[in-house]
Chain A
């Protein structure tokens, strides 16, 4: 099956006062039609930058130095901005982390959703309003007429996130990039929102990249999982495959770090910290923290290799065993 989105060897760097930050150092990412891919990693591993690169919404200080982003056969990086405007919000949309910050505080939420429609379709205001009301119901908000007229500050975080979801899904997009959509919400609301996204993505036949640092959340809704570390993908595979047979020592560490009920004593944590992306990294970025690291790991960069069944890993030690 052809992938819907194929990100090939993406390099992104930021110019900062302290020097050049190599935020993405060759990211490979594939999303197939009608699947949810969880993009997992620590803060600063490049998950969000990857998401923003796909929509070409990176800050002006960022530069894409290398790579291709093939969406439905076209390289998005080569499209003129005018074409990109048509894709943003229609074919590819984004759900943001802080729902309340993602809504304009001085606009009625209904009008904000309608704005997404008017930007892409020839539609009368009345029709737009009808569609918005329909979607408000779809995302599980009671009394849509009343909700339509509300301002973001009158809503709870969960309600606001439902609005943002309605905004992202109103065009039946082919790809929804959800950037930690639940991390700013209460735990009880989190589960509802995850169910809602899962449900709607399935129903509309969209694909989704679900960015999260929470493996538990990933397990709940993803078909496949991609683990990122220091601007690179270190392991990709089917969700159960990764949970049951993690190959990369970093993935292994992450899974061990999930607390389980009944555990006694200290929580497991991965020693050390993320390497600075200001410096050139030689060899495997995880090597300094890796309990199994060998000489080779510090000098030679491991490529992302398929070990069978769509399970990819970038580790010298675990490939060819």
Chain B
């Protein structure tokens, strides 16, 4: 396929009735727009962090430590005199990176194991599902904490730890849909034309399991940012001096009564990001709900 074909296909997609209709449904809900605006802002900030931030996020300036918000430092400075606005801006990169990587990894693992589990059933299903039960028996943060503690701190290990505890939910969702779809006549029909098992799973089952999984993934973005911040706060996540929101909240803990701005602004950033993803997730659910009026 040439690039021209691709572009034409893309244009057809954008102008198709379905796309238009989806956009109409999406726009109908005010909160969707708010969520989208927040996330676009977050992505924009992350991409243009070097341009947007007025100061170096890790440059210390002991003369100006714990300065309150002013025109020079709009959000104030922390205990090492670092500009909080710059740190919050750079922190968006870390949070977004963690959210995207973690959700992608856990989604792929969960989707793979879940569809296999649902399609084959029997002892394969039994093993995979009992494994997810084990994972889901613990609160996610507690388990992530244990794994992060075992792996040691750092951004890579944080991502591994959260992915490790996040996939079972996706596996469950994918399995539920796969169980339902595997008995459909078109799966039987696909087998009757000689389609191999791999083909049935990847061409027929996986696309059908995507809607609930994508909704979950969007909602999970917020949850992951929260979990990562939690790990950072507890000192088991991303390490200083990297400007990570959780670490920043933790840094300000000691001064919370006097110098409230040190913890508050990164905290607000966490709130806003999580809120934005949750709004989009809810919006997607409304759109993809088959019972929704079209």
Contact = CB atoms under 8 A, between A and B. Distances in A.
A120 interface: yes
A89 interface: yes
A164 interface: yes
B26 to A, nearest CB: 20
Contacts of B184: 101
Contact of A115 (B121, B185, B193, B208): B193
Given A101-B184, A101-B185, A103-B186, A116 B207 contact: no
A101 B186 contact: yes
Contacts of B191: 57, 88
Nearest to B210: A106
B7 interface: no
B204 interface: yes
B194 interface: yes
A85 B207 CA distance: 23
Given A106-B207, A106-B208, A115-B203, A167 B188 contact: no
Interface string A80-105: 00000111111001101010011111
B2 interface: no
A94 B189 contact: yes
A145 interface: no
B292 interface: no
A119 B194 contact: yes
B192 A88 contact: yes
A289 B199 CA distance: 48
B70 interface: no
Nearest to A97: B185
Interface in A105-123: 105-107, 115-116, 119-120
Interface in B197-226: 199, 203-204, 207-208
A69 interface: no
Interface in A159-180: 164, 167-168
Contacts of B192: 55, 57, 88-89, 93-94, 96
A119 B189 contact: no
B196 to A, nearest CB: 6
A250 to B, nearest CB: 30
B188 A89 contact: no
A116 to B, nearest CB: 4
Main secondary structure of the interface of B (DSSP, over half): helix
Given A101-B184, A106-B207, A116-B194, A164 B189 contact: yes
B190 interface: yes
B195 interface: yes
A120 B191 CA distance: 13
Interface string A235-247: 0000000000000
Contacts of A98: 185
Given A115-B203, A119-B199, A102 B189 contact: yes
A75 B286 CA distance: 53
Contact of A88 (B194, B203, B207): B194
A105 B204 CA distance: 10
Interface in A52-69: 55, 57, 60
Contacts of A57: 188, 191-192
A63 to B, nearest CB: 15
A115 B195 CA distance: 8
Contacts of A105: 186
A116 B190 CA distance: 8
Nearest to A85: B194
Contacts of B189: 94, 96, 102-103, 164, 167
A103 B184 CA distance: 9
| Most chain A Cβ neighbours within 10 Å, of B121, B184, B193, B199 | B193
A120 B194 CA distance: 8
A160 to B, nearest CB: 11
A90 B185 CA distance: 19
Contacts of A115: 190, 193, 195, 199, 203
A90 B184 CA distance: 22
Nearest to B185: A101
A120 B193 CA distance: 9
Given A96-B185, A119-B199, A104 B193 contact: no
A200 B199 CA distance: 28
Given A90-B194, A103-B186, 6 more contacts: A94-B189, A96-B185, A98-B185, A102-B185, A104-B204, A115-B203
Which 4 interchain pairs have the tightest Cβ spacing?
A89-B194, A89-B193, A101-B185, A88-B194
14 contacts: A57-B188, A57-B191, A85-B194, A88-B193, A89-B193, A94-B189, A96-B188, A102-B185, A102-B189, A104-B186, A107-B207, A115-B199, A120-B194, A167-B189
Interface of B: 121, 184-186, 188-196, 199, 203-204, 207-208
